[in-house]
Amino acid sequence: MILISPRGGNGSKYNFVETHMITIGTRKSKLAMWQTEMVAGSLHEHGMATRIHSLETIGDRILDTSIAKIGSKGVFTAELEEQLAGGATDIAVHSAKDMQSQLPEGFVLIAFTAREKVNDVLLGTDLSIDIADAGRPLVVGTSSVRRRAFLRHFYPHVKIVEMRGNLQTRIRKMQEGHCDALILAYAGVTRMGYDRMIIKEFATEQFVPPVGQGCIAIEAASTLAPEKMAKIRRCLNNRTSEICLLAERAFLKKLDGGCSIPAFGYAVLEGDELTLAAGLASLDGTKILRVTEKGSAEDPVELGVRAGEKILDGGGRQMLEEIRCAQAL
């Protein structure tokens, strides 16, 4: 069939003849749509036409309840997976940090894009804020149990308030006075053009990022035509990102973790050597378990599993039990 780029018009640089249309599923937020448009653009550059189908997930609709209370598995992905399973979409675009460590049967991650800077940042309108100043009252908004734990550990004087919603909603709530500043991922902040509001960039050695932060993951049903799956993967997959994310996700899977536990993992590839800094914090931030493991890029999963086993054996099992008991109350 003859297809025209979504930009439209015969003058588009994406005019081409193609036998397959790639239908992409995504959440409706501005950030999710930005990421999806980026993926679509890469597919266009490789001669594939696309259309985008957006929807709201349960995590987008329920904003007055913490993710831990909603349930950490599939909060931002279940509805998109229903579309994949039914054949309404070919692939789904996700922030990799939102993906559960164990996908439901019948689904696979087929690509990981090049990774943005992974740091957490403090965002606000008052650039004079110093989070280390214990003499200045400060209210920080976040929905992340990991960020809460790190704040309580490193900056116990800071008051923390729950802040759910997309980036624009959180910024609006901050401007309305619900908090003085927000902690967010650098990737989302810069993609949405809010760089000017960054007060502080936290070092990854201090605020170790969550598994997958800064990376976009492409999910498909395992029944997707092999030829189409391979073509999409060749176009979108970044080898370095994939190796790092396989290690990080194997670590999280070993902990049977998701968005509701304060786990963290960040892998870096240098040549053929892979280094994974990972761990787990208590909800109150008083205890933080950390390991740094090195291994071969040829077996990133083994590295992640090994790091997970060390955390579990070093007190992680008891900590996880305490976390889940506290969240069940």
* Residue 139: Cβ-neighbour burial (10 angstroms; 0-12, 13-18, 19+): middle
Active site residue ranges: 98
Q: DSSP label at 97?
A: G
Sign of the alpha-carbon torsion through 9, 14, 17, 21: negative
Contact 277, 292 (CB under 8 A): yes
Kindly state the tokens that stand for 122.
């403090």
Cα–Cα distances in Å, from 41 out to 29, 30, 121, 242?
A: 18, 16, 28, 20
Which alpha helices (DSSP H) does 62-216 contain, by range?
A: 67-70, 78-86, 145-154, 167-175, 186-191
At a CB cut-off of 8 Å and minimum separation 6, what does 33 contact?
26, 27, 52, 54
Strands 21-27 and 49-55: parallel
- Alpha-carbon distance of 67 to 262, in angstroms, equals 12
Of the chain, the end-to-end C-alpha distance in Å amounts to: 57
Contact 37, 95 (CB under 8 A): no
Which alpha helices (DSSP H) does the chain contain, by range?
A: 30-45, 58-61, 67-70, 78-86, 145-154, 167-175, 186-191, 226-236, 239-254, 300-311, 317-328
